[in-house]
Chain A
Amino acid sequence: EAGVVQSPRYKIIEKKQPVAFWCNPISGHNTLYWYLQNLGQGPELLIRYENEEAVDDSQLPKDRFSAERLKGVDSTLKIQPAELGDSAVYLCASSLGGSNTEAFFGQGTRLTVV
């Protein structure tokens, strides 16, 4: 069974340019997460979806970040415009949902803004 699939794996863009990341969760997983991870830090939640509904986006910088999960399956995270400080690894994860189920991560997208 395929795990969480993310693309692209790497992205280098100039500041002020837009960028988008794509995630396809494990089949049947209703909960989808986008995390940001800086070097030497743990993953920090950006947004969590339950099916197509964004139920926790309190940490998403909404002035430049947006996300969607239109059909409750795959999801896209966008940054526009990107800033130098956005350089990080963007991780997507999915789970069955509920309080006792673990999350499975994709390989992440490593973004470098120059």
Chain B
Amino acid sequence: RKEVEQDPGPFNVPEGATVAFNCTYSNSASQSFFWYRQDCRKEPKLLMSVYSSGNEDGRFTAQLNRASQYISLLIRDSKLSDSATYLCVVNSGYSTLTFGKGTMLLVSP
């Protein structure tokens, strides 16, 4: 089993749709979790950290389930500008960041 696994993409959704990405991780000792966004031919940029209680930032909601070793990202009211690849990132120890393969999102008019 890979350390960090994500839904294979791409996800094609219309503007205004709600879309959810899932991610599982194998190391139960993992300590912190992030979602990064990567635009085509650009570097990854932090979208949001994921906290145990779940957290929300505008249209984006991240949730963590430690018992199931599962992380999710929900995007509501999708915009064209949300089109990108979303990377699930797990810190499995002191500064050891492991990335998933990423899930591509395509939002169409």
Residues of A within 8 A of B (CB): 31, 33, 35, 40-45, 48, 50, 56, 91, 93, 95, 97-108
**Closest Cβ–Cβ distance, residue B102 to chain A (whole Å):** 5
Tally of A-B residue pairs with Cβ under 8 A? Answer: 55
Cross-chain contact of A56 among B32, B42, B91, B96 (Cβ < 8 A):
B96
Listed in ascending order, the chain B residues whose CB lies under 8 Å from chain A are 4, 31-32, 34, 42-46, 49, 87, 91, 93-102
What is the minimal beta-carbon distance from A70 to any residue of chain B, in angstroms? 20
A39 to B2, CA, bound (A): 18
The answer on a CB contact under 8 Å between A104 and B46 is: yes
Please list 23 pairs of residues, one from A and one from B, whose beta carbons are closer than 8 Å in the complex, sorted by A's number.
Answer: A35-B99, A40-B101, A42-B99, A42-B100, A42-B101, A42-B102, A43-B99, A44-B99, A45-B96, A48-B95, A48-B96, A50-B95, A56-B96, A97-B94, A97-B95, A99-B32, A99-B93, A100-B49, A100-B91, A103-B46, A105-B44, A107-B42, A107-B43
Docked CA distance A56–B99 (Å):
16
Cα A105 to Cα B38 with chains together (Å): 11
Q: A56-B96, A97-B95, A99-B93 are in contact. Are A91 and B102 (CB under 8 A)?
A: no
* CA distance in complex: A91, B97 (Å): 13
Q: Evaluate contact between B94 and A98: CB separation under 8 angstroms.
A: yes
Contact flag A99-B95 (CB < 8 Å), given A41-B101, A42-B101, A42-B102: yes
Query: Apart from A103-B97, A107-B42, what are 18 other A-B pairs with CB-CB below 8 Å?
Result: A31-B95, A33-B97, A40-B101, A41-B102, A42-B87, A42-B100, A43-B44, A44-B99, A48-B96, A91-B43, A98-B95, A99-B94, A101-B95, A102-B34, A102-B46, A102-B49, A106-B43, A107-B43
- Provide the residues of chain B in CB contact with A33, threshold 8 Å: 97
Identify the 10 closest CB pairs spanning chains A and B, nearest first.
A42-B99, A105-B43, A99-B31, A102-B46, A100-B32, A42-B101, A43-B99, A31-B95, A42-B102, A99-B32
Q: How far is the CA of A91 from the CA of B87 in the complex (A)?
A: 15
